[in-house]
A and B are shown apart, each in its own frame.
Chain A
Amino acid sequence: MLGKLIKHEFRAVNRLMLPLHLGLIVITIIGRFYVQFVMNREHVNYSSYSLRMWEGIVDVMLVSAYVIALIAIFIITWLYLDILRFRKNLFTDEGYLMHTLPASAAQHIFTKLAVSAVWQIADGILIGLSVFAMVLNKSIIEDFGYFWNELWTSFPQIFGVPAGIGIPVFLLSALVNTIAGTLIIYMCIAIGHSFNDHKVLASIGIYMGYKFVSNLISSIVVALSGINSFGTRNVNSIFFGVGVYNSGLNETAYFWLNTGFSLVFSLVLGVGAFVLTNHFMTKRLNLE
C-alpha cells in the first residue's frame, strides 16, 4: 500500500517538480554560456565607455534574475511540497478520495513526507550544483586542492572533530531538521483543518503560536546552557561563562553535546508532530 501511495504521489508531484527543475537546468546551461561569453568579452578592447556601462547593467540584471529564479524555485518547491500539496490532497475535496482508500493516516503522512524529502533534497543539490556550475572556472579548479586541504585541517580546529565525521553529522542533522520542519507544518495544517471554519487562518495561527513557543524555549535553552546547533561555543549566551562554556569541556565534547542535543531536539519535535498529525487525521478529521 505504501509503495502504491508513494508511486501515485510522485506521479502527481512530478507534474510540477519535473518542469520546475528542468527549468533550473536550462537556466543553468544558458547562464553558464553567458558567463563564458562575459569572461571572453573582457579581453576585447572597448572603444566606447557607454557600451561598457550598458553591458555592466545587463550583467547585473541577468545575475539578479538568476538569483531570483533560484530563490523562486527553492520557495515554490518548499511551499508546494510542505504546504499546498499536503493540504489540497488530504484536506480539500481530494481528501474524500484519499481518506477512503484502504490506507492508514500514518501511511499518508509518511508518503507525503518521503516524497517531499526526496524532492527537497534533489532541489537543494540541483541549486547547489547550479551555483557551482556558474562560478566554476580554471582558477577554482586549480585552487580546489588547496581548499580541500584547508577544509580538512581547519575543520577539526573549529569543531573539534575531523571533517569526515563532522560534515556527515551536519548533513544528518540538517536532514532530520528539514523532516521535522515538514512534519511540524503538516501538524499545523492537520490541527487547523479540524476547525469548522477559517481552516487556513487557524493553521497559520497555530504555526505562529508554535514558532513563538519554540523560539522562546530554544532561546532559554541556548541562553542557559550555551548549547547551540552549530556545534561551537556560543559566545552570545547571556549566561556566558556560567553554562557549559566554563565547564572545561574541550571542542570535541562540545561538538557532540551541541549536535547531539540539536538532533535529539529535532527528533522529539518530529515524532511529536507526527503523532499529533496522525491523531488529528484519524480522530479529528473534519473535511468540508
Chain B
Amino acid sequence: MEQLLSCQNLTKRYGYKTALDSINLTIERGRIIGLLGPNGSGKTTLIKLINGLLAPTEGLLLINGAVPGPETKKVVSYLPERTYFNSWMKVTDILNFFCDFYSDFDRNRAMEMLHRLNIDEKDRLSSMSKGTKEKVQLIMVMSRDADLYCLDEPIGGVDPAARDYILQTIITNYNERASVLISTHLISDIENVLDDVIFIQNGHIRLTTSVDEIREQEGKSVDALFREVFRC
C-alpha cells in the first residue's frame, strides 16, 4: 500500500510569518500519533493543510499519493478545535448529513456510541452543553471508516471523565489500516495511547520517534522529554 501521508519540503507562510518551514514527514498506517508542540508551533497549520483548508506555499503534501482535494477528503476524518454544526440541527439531522456526504460513515456505530452517552437522536444541539456538543462531533468523526483521523486538540478544556471517554473512543475504533493524528499540548493525558510522537516547534519538526524508544533510550516519559526539549 502507498504511504498514508507524506510531506516533502512542506512550507506555509502567512504574509511574512512562516508557520511551517520546509518540513518532511511520513505517516504509516495503523499508528496512533501525537502531534505535540507548544501553542503557535504549527500543529493546527499542518492539520489544516492535510484537510485542504489551507494550500501550501511551497512543497508537497500527499495523502494516499494525492494532493488534498475532494478525493482525499473522502478518506480523512477531521475534528477541528471548534464546533461546526448549526445549533438548530437535531442529532438525526447531523446523522443524515454525514450519511449523505461520507460513504464510509457507519450510522449504527454512531448510534451505539450516542446511546451509550444517553444522547437522544431527537435532541437539538442548542439544548446541549458545550461538552456534549463536542462529544457528538467526536462520535461523528470517529464513526467514519477513514484512513486518517485528524483530531485537533480533542482533549483541550474537557473534564477528566470526558477525556477518558475520548481516549476510549479512539482505542475502540482503532484499526490497522488507519492512523490517528492527535494534536495536543497536554501530553501526559494521552501518552499511554500513542505509538509515535512528532515534536513540532516554530514550524520545524524537532523529533519523530516512538514512545517506546523515548522510554527505552531516555528512561523518561514523553511528557518529561517534551518539557526538557521545549524548556522556556
Interface readout for A273-288 with B: 1 if CB under 8 Å, 0 if not? 0000000001111110
Report the Cα distance A98→B83, complex, angstroms. Answer: 12
Known: A93-B84, A196-B15. A4 touches B70 (CB 8 A): no
Are B55 and A100 within 8 A (Cβ)?
Answer: no
Nearest to A287 among chain B residues (CB) is B53
Please report the C-alpha to C-alpha distance between residue A15 and residue B15 in the assembled complex, in whole angstroms. Answer: 40
**Which chain A residues lie closer than 8 Å to B54 at the CB level?**
285-286
Tell me the complex Cα distance, A135–B48, Å. 57
Task: Tell me which residues across on chain A come within 8 A of B78, comparing CB atoms.
Answer: 96, 100
Q: Are A97 and B84 in contact (CB under 8 A)?
A: yes
**Contact with B73, one of A101, A284, A286 (Cβ below 8 angstroms):** A101
Query: Is A52 part of the binding interface, using a Cβ–Cβ cutoff of 8 Å?
Result: no
Q: A100-B76, A101-B101 are in contact. Are A282 and B83 (CB under 8 A)?
A: no
Q: How many residues of A contact B (CB 8 A)?
A: 24
> Whole-angstrom distance between the alpha carbons of A285 and B14 in the complex?
11
A96-B84, A100-B76, A101-B101 known; A282 vs B55 contact (CB < 8 Å): yes
Answer whether residue A104 sits at the interface, using C-beta atoms and an 8 A cutoff.
Answer: yes
Contact with A along B58-94 (1 / 0, CB 8 A): 0000000000011101101010101111101000000
**B-side binding surface: helix, strand, loop or mixed?**
loop
- What 1/0 flags go to B15-31 for Cβ under 8 Å of A? 10000000000000000
B102: A residues at CB distance < 8 A: 101-102
Residues of chain B within 8 A (CB-CB) of A287 are 48, 53
Cα-based distance from A6 to B78 in the complex (angstroms): 23
Are A4 and B101 closer than 8 Å at their CB atoms? yes
Asked whether, in the complex, the Cβ of A102 is within 8 Å of the Cβ of B82, the reply is no
CA distance A12 to B70 in the complex (A): 22
The answer to whether A55 has its CB under 8 Å from any CB of chain B is no
Q: Which chain A residues lie closer than 8 Å to B84 at the CB level?
A: 93-97
Given B51, B83, B85, which contacts A100 in the complex, CB threshold below 8 Å?
B51
CB distance from A192 to the nearest CB of B (A): 16
Q: List, sorted by A's number, 13 A–B pairs whose CB atoms are closer than 8 Å.
A: A7-B100, A15-B88, A95-B53, A96-B78, A97-B85, A99-B52, A100-B52, A100-B73, A100-B78, A102-B71, A103-B101, A196-B14, A285-B53
Binding site for A on B (CB under 8 A): 14-15, 48, 51-55, 69-71, 73-74, 76, 78, 80, 82-86, 88, 97, 100-102
18 extra interchain contacts, Cβ-Cβ under 8 A, other than A4-B101, A286-B54? Answer: A1-B70, A4-B100, A93-B83, A93-B84, A94-B85, A95-B53, A95-B84, A96-B78, A97-B84, A102-B71, A102-B73, A102-B102, A282-B55, A283-B55, A284-B55, A285-B53, A286-B14, A287-B48
